[in-house]
Amino acid sequence: MSDLSSMLDGPVSAWPAGFTPRRLLRNAHLQTLAGNFLPRKLSLPEPERLLVEVEGPVGGYGPTYVLCHCHWQPEHVRSNRFTVVVVHGLEGSSASHYVLGNAMRALAAGFNVVRMNMRSCGGTDELSPTIYHSGRAEDVAAVVKALVETRGMQSIGLLGYSMGGNLVLKYAGEVASSSPPSIKAVVGVSPLMDLALSSSALHEVQNRLYEWHFLRSMLARVRRKAALFPNIYSRHSLNKIRTMRLFDEHIVARYGGFAGADDYYYTVASSQYASRFSVPTLIVHSMDDPFIRMLPSTRKALIENPAVTFLETRHGGHCAFLSSATNGDGRWAEATLLRFLIEHADGSRLGR
């Protein structure tokens, strides 16, 4: 392992280059907001839609599907190319700008790219009687299985942002003792590994704007669910849910099969697997992330795991990492994780 947990604002090794925040963006909140709203040129070819069944009929309704948008290399080389599965964060989708940005880079590198929506996301509420949450690693497993068995993909990398980072890391931890040979690398950017700690942080005064933004969107989704699947969901008392913890207690736990919020946080946290990751894993985390917090025990386990490259920066905000670099577009995390994926993909599958 490269012990890079102490990397702050300057380079400490030949790989990767250190992160220096863009001028005027040393503040975590400014980084986070700029990373989310700063315009960027995004252009991808029309994708192929792939529906993957992840759960059978529930409550008198049909199965649950997730929708993937796939970008393939030419057919005669497709199955031999490295395939990157990109998973978005909370209330994002396959159309989130960071998903599209990573997809463009990976496609240009000669990889296949699969932009995966979580359950109900990307305009697919009607395809999912069940809800999504931070523990649905089985959905990642189903997509991997579909890519291998129905598309013939032989070499796969998983990339997740925030909640999506927890999903891919939880999957990697669950299969650590017998990881599918197709899985070559896993990447988590600002991953939500310690849910209880991060949920509390989201309710801090300086983070209430983020909490309100997520809650408004998530409650609107529950109302849509109640209209689509009235046998399962109720709108009763939704107006009383004013915090993320209350949402997790009364919605996620109730409809996700957990005893309560604490049971949910403990059960689905990928941090429990931090010492067990066995495939090459990259984790990018900022010390000033406004609401993603990491326990010292999690950090220690990651640093000591020889399969993990743990990159921790002083600045970077949440999923932003806008760099002062003059070359490229300054999206440091995207450039860094692509380099990691290239290093761990079979060289014959890079189209070189």
pLDDT along the chain (352 residues), means of 10: 34 55 93 93 95 97 98 95 98 97 97 98 97 97 97 96 98 91 96 97 96 96 97 94 96 97 98 97 97 97 96 96 80 96 74 46
Give the whole-angstrom CA distance, residue 206 versus residue 180. 42
Nearest to 119 by CA among 172, 167, 64, 160: 64
Cβ burial 171-191 (10 Å sphere, 16+ → b, else e): bbbbbeeebeeebbbbbbbbb
* pLDDT at residue 18, as a whole number: 81
> Rounded distance, CA 181 to CA 178, Å?
9
Rounded Cα–Cα distance for residues 195 and 202 (Å)? 10
Residue spans per domain, the chain: 28-345
**What pLDDT score does 325 carry?**
67
CATH of 28-345, picked from 3.10.20.740, 3.40.50.1820, 3.40.1160.10, 2.30.40.10, is: 3.40.50.1820
Structure tokens at 203: 């309710």
Whole-number pLDDT of residue 140: 98
- Provide the pLDDT for residue 179: 80
